[in-house]
């Protein structure tokens, strides 16, 4: 039995709703899905309402999570439940889901109770912490919750405690953290919060197999714009040797790893003598200039993979990202270099996005 989605719901950083709207329209248009974007500025949420309902599994396959840049999380929107009674919200939600799905094979592997990432939604998040265990218990009692790793995740989005939207995603085709909010600990000796960006990128943009084969002792990395050394430390803690290129000073804690060599030079002109496994770049520069630099390292055979930031302009941020993507792809394609590029506006990113690029 085909279960129909009425649209898509996306989480994002507050202020980036129009970028998510633009990418939702572009991605869905590729698959002939037409509809209307609904979002309030600074709400950290975007809804895309389809003109015609769409089978939820083929919908998500058509717009896989890895293709989204500005959405921190996205799920197939199946419906809404209003007027939840204060005395038994869990019961009301469970009854609705049982009525819809008990006669279908659909069972949920996990429940994600969600709220917008805004200051206004803080109150709802407190309520959800207390409410989620009650809901899980009620769904389990009705046999709707299978707690299986391969079953769909049920997303319940609350803007108030009295109503919710609900939807579905598949494990492995979703953000690695609920709502895409990465809770990461600062590593010991980290000199900057920027270190968390690279730590998040390793998880959000790479698979477990990719991490295991490319983040291991004995490999070499170059870090352009390295000071004070938060990114270099991420590599050193995994046993890689790092050339940290920056005219600014590196923190003692980073040099003390014994794996980081400080190179005082201009990151745009310096090149390694031998090919390296990784090049990362966190220099604050025009995005097109960084994109050209990255492409140059790949086409001249200096690295096999890279993670880098593209600082976003104030306006036309989505267009700028697409321009940089096209610039890099065109240069690598011209040289016959088969590659894979994943881009994301990470939880730890502000006015920038992070890109993972690798030869395949």
Ligand X SMILES: C[S@@+](CC[C@H](N)C(=O)[O-])C[C@H]1O[C@@H](n2cnc3c(N)ncnc32)[C@H](O)[C@@H]1O
- Which residues make up the interface to ligand X (CB under 6 A)? 191-192, 194-195, 225-231, 245-248, 266-268, 282-284
Q: How far is the CB of 172 from ligand X (least distance, A)?
A: 29
Q: How far is the CB of 290 from ligand X (least distance, A)?
A: 10
Give me 317's structure tokens.
């941020």
Q: Which of 311, 315, 316, 323 is catalytic?
A: 311
- What 3-state class would DSSP assign to 51? strand
Q: How far is the CB of 33 from ligand X (least distance, A)?
A: 38
Are 310 and 291 a contacting pair, CB within 8 Å? yes
Q: Closest CB to ligand X among 97 and 233?
A: 233
Chain centroid offset of residue 74 CA:
10
Q: Closest CB to ligand X among 35 and 229?
A: 229
Q: Which value, to the nearest 10 degrees, does the dihedral of the CA atoms of residues 194, 197, 199, 202 take?
A: -150
Q: Give CA–CA dist 34/223, Å, rounded.
A: 43
* Residue of minimal Cβ distance to ligand X: 230
Q: How far is the CB of 267 from ligand X (least distance, A)?
A: 3
Q: How far apart are the first and last CA of the chain?
A: 38
Find the helix packing angle between 89-101 and 122-141, rounded to 10°.
50
Are 96 and 84 a contacting pair, CB within 8 Å? no
Q: How far is the CB of 323 from ligand X (least distance, A)?
A: 21
Q: Closest CB to ligand X among 9 and 251?
A: 251
141 is catalytic: no
Q: How far is the CB of 228 from ligand X (least distance, A)?
A: 5
Q: Closest CB to ligand X among 46 and 226?
A: 226
CB neighbours (10 Å) of residue 295? 22
Q: Closest CB to ligand X among 181 and 284?
A: 284
Give me 215's structure tokens.
């983040």
For residue 219, CA distances in Å to 55, 215, 327, 359 come to 45, 7, 28, 16
Q: What is the DSSP string of 281-343?
A: E---S-HHHHHHHHHHHHHTTSEEEEEEEEEPPSS-HHHHHHHHHHHHHHHHHHTT--EEEEE
Q: Give CA–CA dist 163/115, Å, rounded.
A: 12
Q: Closest CB to ligand X among 40 and 193?
A: 193
- 75 DSSP β-pair partners: 9
Q: Nearest 5°: phi and psi at 230? A: -60, -40
- Long-range contacts of residues 242-249, Cβ cutoff 8 Å, at least 24 apart: 243/272, 243/276, 245/270
Q: Among all chains, which residue has been given the structure tokens 């959405």? A: 71
Q: How far is the CB of 199 from ligand X (least distance, A)?
A: 10
Q: Closest CB to ligand X among 116 and 205?
A: 205
What residues are labeled active site?
A: 311
């Amino acid at each position: 039995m085909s279960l129909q989605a009425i649209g898509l719901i996306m989480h994002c950083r507050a202020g980036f709703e129009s970028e998510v709207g633009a990418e939702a329209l572009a991605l869905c248009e590729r698959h002939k899905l037409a509809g209307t974007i609904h979002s309030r500025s600074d709400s950290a949420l975007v809804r895309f309402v389809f003109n015609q309902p769409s089978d939820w599994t083929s919908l998500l396959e058509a717009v896989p999570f890895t293709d989204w840049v500005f959405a921190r999380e996205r799920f197939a929107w199946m419906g809404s439940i209003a007027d939840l009674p204060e005395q038994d919200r869990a019961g009301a939600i469970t009854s609705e889901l049982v009525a819809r799905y008990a006669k279908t094979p659909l069972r949920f592997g996990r429940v994600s109770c969600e709220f917008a990432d805004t200051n206004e939604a803080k109150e709802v998040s407190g309520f959800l912490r207390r409410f989620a265990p009650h809901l899980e218990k009620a769904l389990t009692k009705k046999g709707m919750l299978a707690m299986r790793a391969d079953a769909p995740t049920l997303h319940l989005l609350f803007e108030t405690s009295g109503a919710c939207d609900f939807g579905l995603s598949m494990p492995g085709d979703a953000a690695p953290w609920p709502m895409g909010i990465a809770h990461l600990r600062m590593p010991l000796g980290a000199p900057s919060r920027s270190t968390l960006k690279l730590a998040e990128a390793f998880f959000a943009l790479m698979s477990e197999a990719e991490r295991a084969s490319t983040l291991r002792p004995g490999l070499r990395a170059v870090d352009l714009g390295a000071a004070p050394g938060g990114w270099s430390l991420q590599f050193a803690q995994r046993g890689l040797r790092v050339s940290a290129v920056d005219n600014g000073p590196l923190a003692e804690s980073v040099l003390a790893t014994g794996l980081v060599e400080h190179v005082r030079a201009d990151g745009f002109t310096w090149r390694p003598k031998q090919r390296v496994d990784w090049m990362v770049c966190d220099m604050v520069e025009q995005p097109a200039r960084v994109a050209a630099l990255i492409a140059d390292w790949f086409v001249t055979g200096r690295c096999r993979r890279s993670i880098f930031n593209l600082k976003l302009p104030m306006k036309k941020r989505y267009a700028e990202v697409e321009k940089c993507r096209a610039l890099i792809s065109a240069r690598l394609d011209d040289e016959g270099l088969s590659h894979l590029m994943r881009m994301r506006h990470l939880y730890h990113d502000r006015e920038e996005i992070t890109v993972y690029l690798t030869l395949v």
